[in-house]
Chain A
Amino acid sequence: MTSDRVVVTGFGVASPFGLGIDALYDGMLAGQSMVGELPSPRSALAPGYGGLVTLKASAIRGLPNSRDMRPGTMTRYTFLSTLALGNAMEHGDCPWDDGDGALRRGFYVASYTNSDRFDKYVRFAHHVIDQDQDRPFINDSEVPQAIRKFSGFEFLKLMNNMPTAHGGIQGRCQGPCNTFLGTPSGGAQAIGRSLAAIRDGLADTMYAGGVGSSAHDHMMMVRATRGLNSSAEVAPVQAGRPFDRGATGIVPGEGSAVLVLERESTARARGAKIYAELAGYGEWFAPPATREGVQPGPEATIRSMAAALKMAGADSGDVDVVAVHGESRNDLDALEASALAESLGSRVSEVPVMALAAHVGSVEAAVGPMGAALVLQALETGKVPGALNRQDPLPEYQGPTSSESVTMDARLGVVSLTTREGVSSALVFRKLEN
């Protein structure tokens, strides 16, 4: 195990505001929401709006070591992940053509799933009507013909490790690479496990992040059957309402973020700008609620934040700013708000709480890494966006509700996530004196 601190030397973001942290952060400081009407045919599915990343495929071309990356061989998840990794490499001025340096570099990324193109397969496979039940179903006898209309890449790009595979090539990562699936906490887990990988000597540099694309048919259908989508009756820019009584459900969104994590000695040796120390990580697990509902109480989130702060040698009195999940559904938001109140104690009313969902919608496994990018930017700039669409807070929410951004000398920031799957995680970033 190394005694070196692990530091953040770059972070990349792809969001509906554009490429890079500045686009996202400036938009949030201005109180903007990028949730808008979805183009057809997505608009056929409720709620008909969402926060889409509108960057063209060509946006990849200008990023480091991305000349040979082919967006046509990527799912939406892989494309967004590739954008964020390239942006992070650029932001951190990271080497990629450094010979054996690749052996000491890894990539952990999280995604909820990677099957956004499954609808294409199903369309090819033809629907027929089951006369007995008057329900459409897939005609399995057509599947062989359907799959022939897929190229090999059409199939392979649906594999869940493809964001990692593309990223490994783009970032020239020949060390540990992994994909974490199935929970919005996955991105924070990827960052936390990367911290461990560096401390355990598995790598000197880790790219770590997450990607979310909840605005495609597949995930919108998944949420619709469970009654989780937001209402089609509200104005898109007002739909994302973390901790607000008026929230109607999850707003489809897209985004991705990747952090560059390095041993402090490695970073200083190459003269990298150090944004902050990744000082702590904690995760805790509520009893699994397998099919419906949420975890029974806020304890998992309270414990995960406490564990992260303990690892960082800090306590709740040191916390200057927080980024949270803020799903925009009252049941989960109430739990998260209760956990914040318990964890921050008397300071809960003054610590700014950043919640992405109001600005870009639900970004699934990217919410942790994008939240980390927000915290890092707050530490860097001393500016924190105000709360958007939080005028009528839930009784459990005791944090700030002002829409005005604030200026502060932020030294320590926390990312804290509460999830429907019962997996809570927390990250602690501390600004270093250079």
Chain B
Amino acid sequence: MEQQGPAEPRVVVTGLGMVSAAGPDVGSAWQLIREGRSALAPVELFDSAPYGGALSGEALHLERERGEDRSLQLLRLASAELLADSGWGEEQRGADTGVVLGTCQGAIENAKGIHRSFSSRPHTAPTSEDRRAFAEYRPGFGTQFLADRLGAEGPRSTVGMVCVSSSVAIIHALDLLRRGAARRIVAGGFESFSQFVFSGFHCIGALATGRLRPFDEQRDGTVLGEAAVLLTLERLEDAEARGAHIYAEVLGGGYAADAFHMTAPDPEGGGLERAIRHAFADSGLGTDDVDYVCAHGTGTVFNDGMECATFGRLFAERAASGTMPAISSMKSVFGHTLGAAGALDAVASVLALDRGMLPPSVALEQPIADWDFVCGTGRDCNGELKIALSTNSAFGGNNSALLLARIQRGAQG
């Protein structure tokens, strides 16, 4: 990275939309975070007894509808909240508005539907339900669907990087805004809970036998969830001109690969460290500036160990002086939402900055390092929380980092 210091134009977050296991909106998610409660519950979508029983982060408040893929149902609701929260009108429709989304498997449940009609009878005429399911199946459809709902005719792109998909989508959106490709972009991610993906995680032994316990000595796996999480990013000058509420500024981002193993992370976290250093270079910040790390924290032995190795090296001086930034993971509240996870962590960070409260990890009882892990309930920061670092890592050795900053009330800009 050659760039140093904040880039122009400055980009801020002016709207949020989120549907998750916690509830149908951002408010219900923040309430759970503040109270340090978990939304994880026994699997409802299918009988999990053959798997030995398990928890999930399903959006149980949201009835499953026939006739629309679950992931699109989540996206539709999140987009309605986003539109209202962003205060958009007709003037925000058109070619200056873009959509960049990340997803792991898109409308994966539709893939089962694909074979319902064809595997046994390949030459029968497709039904209208078939046509709908097939049209929605490809991973890029969610982006198209959302752009259609928002009237967004600007840049569209879909990122498929598993667990870093939506954080990389936010970084791409930041890049597009900086180079003037659009004035505002809705960025984020979506993922529905599916038996197929659950089964896959089960067969690789990545699921928790009980609670999801990020950064805990007793952690033994993750719990899968579902969510659609959206953020409105726009240029600071535009946000100020229209009097929008500014949640936070996006200072910079970075991503980098391990090139180590196609599924296992580099145990030393070399790729994650490079991603964070890229984000520092992009924003002009350094390790001393970070007040809070919203870590990936999946609760698996390998991921959390890799992250701690990275943080220990990156923040070595602060660890030695007992001034480590506060660290927590949102997975124990919402489950691992895969393609939506990066955006969910970004929203948690944005809300933490906006409301001056550190989000806790739930079920963290025996931390694996003697650092400032936030646990219990939300921790009031008395205005000391200024910079948040949100990090994510994925199968395949892909890593991302976002740096977000609080905007001073009455002194925006």
- A residues within 8 Å of B by Cβ? 2, 44-46, 73, 102-103, 106-107, 111-115, 118-119, 121-123, 127, 135-138, 140-141, 143-148, 150-153, 155-156, 158-162, 164-166, 168-169, 171-183, 186, 189, 193, 196, 200-202, 217-218, 221-222, 224-226, 283, 285-292, 421-423
B51 adjacent to A200 (CB under 8 Å): no
A160-B139, A160-B162, A225-B131 known; A285+B396 contact, CB < 8 A: no
8 Å CB contact of B138 from A113, A158, A422: A113
Bound CA–CA A116/B397 (angstroms): 22
What is the chain A residue whose CB lies nearest that of B135?
A: A291
B222-230, B255-263, B382-390: which lies at the interface:
B255-263
Beyond A46-B122, A285-B95, 9 additional pairs, beta carbon < 8 A: A112-B138, A121-B196, A122-B112, A144-B202, A152-B203, A158-B105, A166-B262, A174-B257, A423-B156
Bound CA–CA A172/B258 (angstroms): 9
B115 adjacent to A182 (CB under 8 Å): no
- The list of the 4 closest CB pairs from A to B, nearest first, reads A182-B140, A165-B396, A160-B160, A155-B200
A103-B274, A144-B50 known; A189+B157 contact, CB < 8 A: yes
8 Å CB contact of B260 from A119, A127, A150, A169: A169
B139 adjacent to A226 (CB under 8 Å): no
Contacts of A107 in B (CB 8 A): 257
8 Å CB contact of B161 from A137, A178, A283, A422: A178
For B1-43 the 0/1 string (1 means CB < 8 A from A) is: 1110000000000000000000000000000000000000000
B81-89, B143-151, B286-294, B340-348: which lies at the interface:
B143-151
B410 in contact (CB, < 8 A):
no
Contacts of A182 in B (CB 8 A): 106, 138-141, 143-144, 158, 160
Contacts of B145 in A (CB 8 A): 288, 290
B135 adjacent to A164 (CB under 8 Å): no
Contacts of A423 in B (CB 8 A): 156
8 Å CB contact of A141 from B47, B115, B136: B47
A140-B46, A144-B50, A165-B395 known; A155+B162 contact, CB < 8 A: no
8 Å CB contact of B200 from A45, A156, A174: A156
Bound CA–CA A165/B262 (angstroms): 5
B153 adjacent to A226 (CB under 8 Å): no
8 Å CB contact of A156 from B156, B168, B263: B263
A156 adjacent to B204 (CB under 8 Å): yes
B116 adjacent to A136 (CB under 8 Å): yes
B321 in contact (CB, < 8 A):
no
Tally of contact residues, B, Cβ under 8 A: 85
B130 in contact (CB, < 8 A):
yes
B203 adjacent to A180 (CB under 8 Å): no
A113-B138, A122-B115, A285-B155 known; A159+B395 contact, CB < 8 A: yes
B116 adjacent to A168 (CB under 8 Å): no
Cβ distance A235 to chain B, nearest Cβ, rounded Å = 20
Cβ distance B157 to chain A, nearest Cβ, rounded Å = 7
Contacts of B256 in A (CB 8 A): 174-177
A181 adjacent to B259 (CB under 8 Å): no
Cβ distance B24 to chain A, nearest Cβ, rounded Å = 23
Contacts of A164 in B (CB 8 A): 161, 257, 396, 398
A118-B111, A161-B160, A169-B261 known; A288+B203 contact, CB < 8 A: no
B104 in contact (CB, < 8 A):
yes
B119 adjacent to A127 (CB under 8 Å): yes
Contacts of A196 in B (CB 8 A): 175, 179
A166-B262, A225-B131 known; A136+B121 contact, CB < 8 A: yes
Cβ distance B390 to chain A, nearest Cβ, rounded Å = 18
8 Å CB contact of A222 from B137, B196, B255: B137
8 Å CB contact of B139 from A102, A113, A153, A286: A113
Contacts of A225 in B (CB 8 A): 117, 126, 130-131, 133-135
For B246-274 the 0/1 string (1 means CB < 8 A from A) is: 00000000011111111100000011001
Contacts of B255 in A (CB 8 A): 176-178
A181 adjacent to B158 (CB under 8 Å): yes
What is the chain A residue whose CB lies nearest that of B132?
A: A291
B114 in contact (CB, < 8 A):
yes
Cβ distance A177 to chain B, nearest Cβ, rounded Å = 4
B376 in contact (CB, < 8 A):
no
Cβ distance A208 to chain B, nearest Cβ, rounded Å = 14
Most central of A45, A175, A225, A289 by chain B CB within 10 Å: A225
Bound CA–CA A289/B165 (angstroms): 24
Cβ distance B155 to chain A, nearest Cβ, rounded Å = 6
8 Å CB contact of B259 from A147, A148, A168: A168
Contacts of A200 in B (CB 8 A): 3, 175
B195 in contact (CB, < 8 A):
yes
Cβ distance B401 to chain A, nearest Cβ, rounded Å = 12
B117 adjacent to A287 (CB under 8 Å): no
A-B contact pairs, 26 of them (CB 8 A): A102-B259, A112-B138, A113-B138, A118-B111, A121-B196, A136-B117, A145-B50, A160-B105, A162-B262, A164-B398, A165-B257, A169-B262, A175-B256, A179-B159, A180-B157, A181-B160, A182-B140, A222-B134, A222-B137, A285-B95, A288-B145, A289-B144, A290-B148, A291-B131, A291-B136, A423-B156
B104 adjacent to A159 (CB under 8 Å): yes
Cβ distance B263 to chain A, nearest Cβ, rounded Å = 5
Cβ distance A336 to chain B, nearest Cβ, rounded Å = 19
A218 adjacent to B95 (CB under 8 Å): no
B394 in contact (CB, < 8 A):
yes
For B369-397 the 0/1 string (1 means CB < 8 A from A) is: 00000000000000000000000001111
B213 in contact (CB, < 8 A):
no
B144 adjacent to A151 (CB under 8 Å): no
A144 adjacent to B199 (CB under 8 Å): yes
Most central of B2, B117, B136, B200 by chain A CB within 10 Å: B200
Contacts of A174 in B (CB 8 A): 256-259, 270-271, 274
Contacts of B98 in A (CB 8 A): 285
B130 adjacent to A165 (CB under 8 Å): no
Contacts of B135 in A (CB 8 A): 225-226, 290-292
Cβ distance B30 to chain A, nearest Cβ, rounded Å = 30
B154 in contact (CB, < 8 A):
yes
Cβ distance A374 to chain B, nearest Cβ, rounded Å = 25
Cβ distance B334 to chain A, nearest Cβ, rounded Å = 21
Contacts of A421 in B (CB 8 A): 140, 144, 156
8 Å CB contact of A147 from B120, B200, B274, B395: B200
Bound CA–CA A173/B260 (angstroms): 10
B140 adjacent to A181 (CB under 8 Å): yes
Bound CA–CA A119/B262 (angstroms): 23
Contacts of A183 in B (CB 8 A): 140, 158
Q: Which of B61-78 contact A (CB under 8 A)?
A: none
A143-B195, A222-B137 known; A288+B148 contact, CB < 8 A: yes
Bound CA–CA A137/B118 (angstroms): 10
Cβ distance B151 to chain A, nearest Cβ, rounded Å = 8
B242 in contact (CB, < 8 A):
no
B123 in contact (CB, < 8 A):
yes
A178-B161, A182-B141 known; A156+B395 contact, CB < 8 A: yes
Bound CA–CA A141/B154 (angstroms): 44
